[in-house]
Amino acid sequence: MTKAAIDDLEPNDPTRSGPPLSGETGAWLSNNEIEQLCLKAARGAGMSWGLAEEAGFAAAWLARRGMDGPMAVLTQLNHAQGRAWNEICPVVASDQLRPADGNILCPIALGAALCDHGTLLGLGGDQKSLRIGPVSHPVLLLPFLSDLARTCGLNLRLRWSDGTVLLGADGSLLGDVDVIGAETAFEAEISAHVGSVSQDQTAPKVRLVASNTLNGLNSYALKTTVPASEASRAGAGADDNE
Amino acid sequence: MDCASLNPFPEAAAFRRSPSEVMRLERMGCAHPTRLSFLRTLLRRVMDQGWVFDRPVWDVDQAGVGRAVYRAIGPDRTYSLVAFSHDLPDEMRSDRVIATAWDATFTMFDGEPTQDDLDRLQANVPLQEAGRISRKELSLSRANRSVRLFEHVIDRLAAGQQPDADEVEAVGYLMRTTAVYGSGKFGAADLTTIAERPELNAPFQVEMMSVWLTRQFTVDITEHLAHVRGGDRAVRLDPVIKRTLGVGNSTGLGMAPFLVRHPVLLNNWMMAREEALARVRAQSNAQPDRVSGFRKALSDAQENAAKWTSTHPIQVTKLDALRRDLAQLADHTRDWPTTNEPHPWDALWRWAEVELSIEGQEALLSIILEPHGDLIDGLAECMIADEQAAFRLDGSMTVAELMDRLERYYDWALDIDFDQPENAARFWYVSEEKLEPRLGDRFEEDGAALEQPLCIARLAKDLHTELAVQPGETPIAAFLLAHPEHRLMVRRAQVVQRHPYAEVRDNLIAAEMLPIDLMRCKLAFFGASRFDPRSDKWVRISLFQGLPYPSDLCPEGWA
């Protein structure tokens, strides 16, 4: 390697990527990277570690199905900045999960709560349907509803004013996926879906994450890190060269 | 696959050691590689299946700069290690994660690379973390020369002589890897890409293959440079000396959090090893061929212990104990087994529990597994983990039930007084510098507010304290709505319930905690030998030392 090339390398910048590939403005991330980056970004944006794991899970689930999970997570993190937990977490009643007084729910918090309650929600049994929302960036609900369908052994229907999505207990996904991807917020209804959901087999994808998304997530993720110091370098180990 | 229901030896369960004995740092820090270690599993597979190895590209110039391709051709698929060899100025050579250049850089390609693939990789692989690879690649790694031995060996070979045996033994490797990144890093293929491939149905098989082919490269590049320097006078490395060289590996703190972050995987590794030990102990007799296999393994272990050196005071003490223990073991087993002794392997184990140090006991574990391949090798396929399947927590569990679980599985944590400074002295964090994991002093350094959630004992205790003031019948789902900060620990506690060996049962932020104990445990599962701590936070080890090379299996590939 030439001296110039070496000088050009910035060892302290974990977000640096390699030589840009022609015509692309972003980076191809593996699903694992998407999950880890979104986890760290969510933590950096103030989520608890356990919920940040849910954010990472959701982003990777969407990306695996060709949807822009990283952008959805970033948009949501921006949206939730400065809001207290009790403004964005759901109040769970027997037939609805709503925000407290006129607020708007975080889809990660709502999705996690739906999965946590699982069979307690009574879907497919006594409970015919659940009202949810308003919730922001609702595409992020899909991964959780898919898990909920699996946990309950039910096919689920998510219906809102402009569309319907079906989620199978086998992980399948069908319906107005593009429409939900464009929604910034909605109120919706979840119910058991009688009948099959045709299998939507998708091979895992590696996703081009746009530079803006990457930069936004990275700047949140960096908030989980501690600035370097001489003491901390010593704390990582030593160097010898025999 | 549900390994438990397929277990052909249910009677072994009674002989299994408990997690409260096994999952302590003091014992994990005495782990030895076994025949279930991942590199051993790899070698068994490639030999049993007759894989073919060769080196179709060797495009390296007189300065040792260029590229090479090593092919591993299996029954269904081919994998290729793409190696880039560099001419690195001495002052740039560093094993630290924050280094930016190396003597050699590598990637494992899924298939056979085209010229275009090689050109693309050449623009990225030498940059390591600063480059990007693609889903066609399965790993990314680099290696640095042992300046001392590398130069010596080239000098000698160039002059038509073999290297000095003492020099070779003192270092033990020509090059050491300083990081091997696996699935899903820097754009590489996700683990799901290879999860269904039978030939990779054990942990870290791609990484082990990569290091094994790298070992071949270290010899090839040395012989190449010796030939450049010595011309016709140069000779090749004596096969006997060559066999004693492994690949060095320098590992810092970054490896330590892995075991804590992957509780299901840790459980499966430990469970497989413990089940293997239990199966051996459960044998009602000791067949003569097994006994002679045991004696051979014991003798090998004694030879290894004699050559194993370290200057770290902790390891020096352990090595003294190990050598003493192995001598005592040899003495004790001279007339073993006595006739009609029921469960002779178990009797031997019980004797060791009384007579040997922990280091010696864990060495014995490895030794008695060695002659029992037919009984235990299948367990290697139970060591992978579907972590996604364990992700979703059960919110219908009540507060009282979770309290009960915590008291049962985290009893070791609940008694710790974290108000005592020595019990909360450290904090794990990630440095802004290349996102390197580090360990800080809570009372001396900044950054504790950014602590990583590796302080499991304290998280468990905090959760227990909070649960204690909640109504017992409250479902955890409702508890988490009010306390999202406990979500991570609730998930872990539920995982441990189904995975008894998932948790390291020690305080990972205690003043006296040794990160090298975590590292030794993980490295032993890889198959690393000659564990040599350089501080409490980083170690040198050797991989594949004494084992064959790809070119030993397929000499025609290097003709």
Indicate yes or no: CB of B535 within 8 angstroms of CB of A49: no
Chain A residue at shortest CA distance from B477: A116
Strand order in the sheet with B66-73: B52-60, B66-73, B78-85, B104-110, B137-145, B173-181, B246-251, B539-543, B529-533
Mind spelling out the 3-state secondary structure of chain A?
CCHHHHHHCCCCCCCCCCCCCCCCCEEEECHHHHHHHHHHHHHHCCCCHHHHHHHHHHHHHHHHCCCCHHHHHHHHHHHHCCCCHHHHCCEECCCEEECCCCCCECHHHHHHHHHHHHHHHCECCCECEEEEEEEECHHHHHHHHHHHHHHHCCCEEEEECCEEEEECCCCCEEECHHHHHHCCEEEEEEEECCCCCCCCCCCCCCEEEEHHHHHHHHHHHHHHEECCCHHHHHHCCCCCCC
Chain A hits for B488, Cβ within 8 Å = 48-50, 53
CA–CA gap between residue B132 and residue B184 (Å, rounded): 11
CA–CA gap between residue B207 and residue B187 (Å, rounded): 16
Q: Which residue in A85, A115, A236 is closest to B252 by CB distance?
A: A236
Indicate yes or no: CB of A113 within 8 angstroms of CB of B538: no
Min CA distance, B396 vs chain A (Å)? 6
Residue B161 pLDDT > 80? yes
CA–CA gap between residue B346 and residue B367 (Å, rounded): 14
Q: How does the average pLDDT of chain B come out, rounded?
A: 94
**Percentage of chain B modeled with pLDDT above 90:** 82
Indicate yes or no: CB of A92 within 8 angstroms of CB of B481: yes
CA–CA gap between residue B72 and residue B520 (Å, rounded): 29
Chain B hits for A16, Cβ within 8 Å = 130
User: Cα Rg for chain A, rounded, in angstroms?
Assistant: 21
Indicate yes or no: CB of A224 within 8 angstroms of CB of B148: no
Alpha-carbon torsion angle B329, B333, B334, B340, nearest 10: 170
B536 in A contact zone (CB under 8 Å): no
Q: Do B195 and B182 form a contact (C-beta atoms < 8 A)?
A: no
B130: left (phi over 0), alpha (psi -120 to 50) or beta: alpha
User: Cα Rg for chain B, rounded, in angstroms?
Assistant: 25
Residue A73's nearest CA partner among A132, A142, A156 is A142
Residue B379 pLDDT > 90? yes
Indicate yes or no: CB of A57 within 8 angstroms of CB of B187: no
Chain A residue at shortest CA distance from B427: A235
Core vs surface per residue B274-284: b (16+ CB within 10 A) or e: bbbbbbbbbbe
Q: Do B141 and B182 form a contact (C-beta atoms < 8 A)?
A: no
Q: Do A226 and B450 form a contact (C-beta atoms < 8 A)?
A: yes
Structure tokens at B246: 């492994």
For the four alpha carbons of B554, B556, B557 and B559, in that order, the dihedral sign comes to positive
For the four alpha carbons of B257, B258, B261 and B267, in that order, the dihedral sign comes to negative
Min CA distance, B119 vs chain A (Å)? 13
**pLDDT of res. A237:** 53
CA–CA gap between residue B524 and residue B531 (Å, rounded): 9
Residue B337 pLDDT > 70? yes
B 407-466 residues with CB < 8 A to A: 429-436, 438-441, 444-447, 450, 453
Query: A37: exposed, middle or buried (C-beta count within 10 Å: 0-12, 13-18, 19+)?
Result: buried
Chain B hits for A232, Cβ within 8 Å = 431, 433, 438, 440, 445, 447
How many angstroms from the chain centroid is the CA of residue A140? 6
Look up residue B337 and give its amino acid. Answer: P
CA–CA gap between residue A1 and residue A3 (Å, rounded): 7
Mean pLDDT value across residues B503-530? 96
Min CA distance, B365 vs chain A (Å)? 31
3-state secondary structure of B78: strand
3-state secondary structure of B140: strand
B 489-528 residues with CB < 8 A to A: 489-491
Q: How many CB pairs under 8 A join A and B?
A: 213
Q: Which residue in A18, A48, A92 is closest to B127 by CB distance?
A: A18
Mean pLDDT value across residues B210-228? 98
Which spans in B37-131 are helix H? Answer: 38-48, 115-122
Chain B residue at shortest CA distance from A53: B488
Mean pLDDT value across residues B259-287? 96
Residue B531's nearest CA partner among B29, B26, B95 is B29
Site from A9, A47, A49 to mutate, B interface, most B CB atoms within 10 angstroms: A49
Q: Where are the domains of chain A?
A: 25-197+205-223
Its pTM stands at: 0.93
Chain A hits for B184, Cβ within 8 Å = 30-33
Please tell me which residue, B421 or A28, carries the higher pLDDT value.
Answer: B421
Q: Do B133 and B108 form a contact (C-beta atoms < 8 A)?
A: no
Min CA distance, A236 vs chain B (Å)? 5
Q: Give the count of alpha carbons within 13 A of B504, CB side only.
A: 29
The predicted-structure confidence for B83-134, as pLDDT tens digits, reads as follows: 999 998 888 888 776 678 899 999 999 999 999 999 999 999 999 888 888 8
- In chain B, % helix, strand, coil (3-state, to 5) comes to 50, 15, 35
Core vs surface per residue A212-242: b (16+ CB within 10 A) or e: ebbebbbebbbebbbebbeebbebbbebeee
**pLDDT of res. A24:** 58
Structure tokens at B355: 């007579």
Chain B residue at shortest CA distance from A143: B392
The predicted-structure confidence for B39-79, as pLDDT tens digits, reads as follows: 999 999 999 999 999 999 999 999 999 999 999 999 999 99
From residue B439, how far is each of A234, B29, B422, B450, B507 by CA, in Å? 10, 18, 15, 12, 14
Confidence of residue A23 (pLDDT cuts 50, 70, 90): very low
Indicate yes or no: CB of B481 within 8 angstroms of CB of A29: no
Look up residue A233 and give its amino acid. Answer: R
Residue A241 pLDDT > 70? no
CA–CA gap between residue B390 and residue B107 (Å, rounded): 31
* Total residue count of chain B as it appears in this document: 559
Min CA distance, B130 vs chain A (Å)? 5
The predicted-structure confidence for A153-196, as pLDDT tens digits, reads as follows: 999 999 999 999 999 999 999 999 999 999 999 999 999 998 87
Chain A hits for B64, Cβ within 8 Å = none
Chain B residue at shortest CA distance from A97: B481
**pLDDT of res. A229:** 77
B 23-82 residues with CB < 8 A to A: none
Bridge-based pairing of strands B426-431 and A225-226 is parallel
**pLDDT of res. A238:** 47
**Percentage of chain B modeled with pLDDT above 70:** 99
Strands (E), B36-115: 52-60, 66-73, 78-85, 104-110
Q: Do A73 and A42 form a contact (C-beta atoms < 8 A)?
A: yes
CA–CA gap between residue B242 and residue B174 (Å, rounded): 10
Residue whose pair of structure tokens reads 């809570």 in the numeric block? B442
Residue whose pair of structure tokens reads 């930016």 in the numeric block? B100
Structure tokens at B469: 């003031």
Look up residue A148 and give its amino acid. Answer: L
B101 in A contact zone (CB under 8 Å): yes
Min CA distance, B432 vs chain A (Å)? 5
Confidence of residue A16 (pLDDT cuts 50, 70, 90): very low
Those residues with Cβ within 8 angstroms of residue A86's Cβ, 6 or more apart along the chain or in another chain? A100
Look up residue B447 and give its amino acid. Answer: G
Chain A residue at shortest CA distance from B144: A241
Indicate yes or no: CB of B96 within 8 angstroms of CB of A51: no
Mean pLDDT value across residues B243-269? 92
Q: Could you count the other beta carbons within 10 Å of the beta carbon of residue B485?
A: 18
CA–CA gap between residue B274 and residue B23 (Å, rounded): 11
CA–CA gap between residue B11 and residue B231 (Å, rounded): 64
Residue A206 pLDDT > 80? no
Indicate yes or no: CB of A226 within 8 angstroms of CB of B486: no
**Percentage of chain A modeled with pLDDT above 70:** 82
How many angstroms from the chain centroid is the CA of residue B442? 29
Chain B hits for A238, Cβ within 8 Å = 534-535, 538
Please tell me which residue, B178 or B514, carries the higher pLDDT value.
Answer: B514
Those residues with Cβ within 8 angstroms of residue A214's Cβ, 6 or more apart along the chain or in another chain? A15, A26, A27, A70
CA–CA gap between residue A98 and residue B222 (Å, rounded): 68
Core vs surface per residue B400-436: b (16+ CB within 10 A) or e: ebbbebbeebbebbeebebeeeebbbbbbbbbbbbbb
Chain B hits for A14, Cβ within 8 Å = 129, 432-435
**pLDDT of res. A4:** 38
B184 in A contact zone (CB under 8 Å): yes
Confidence of residue A25 (pLDDT cuts 50, 70, 90): confident
Those residues with Cβ within 8 angstroms of residue B457's Cβ, 6 or more apart along the chain or in another chain? B410, B412, B413, B416, B506, B507, B508, B509
The predicted-structure confidence for B431-486, as pLDDT tens digits, reads as follows: 888 788 889 999 999 999 999 999 999 999 999 999 999 999 999 999 999 999 99
CA–CA gap between residue B489 and residue B459 (Å, rounded): 6
Q: Do B293 and B33 form a contact (C-beta atoms < 8 A)?
A: no
CA–CA gap between residue B28 and residue B508 (Å, rounded): 13
Q: How close are the terminal C-alpha atoms of chain B, in Å?
A: 43
Chain B hits for A90, Cβ within 8 Å = 481
Chain B residue at shortest CA distance from A26: B132
B484 in A contact zone (CB under 8 Å): yes
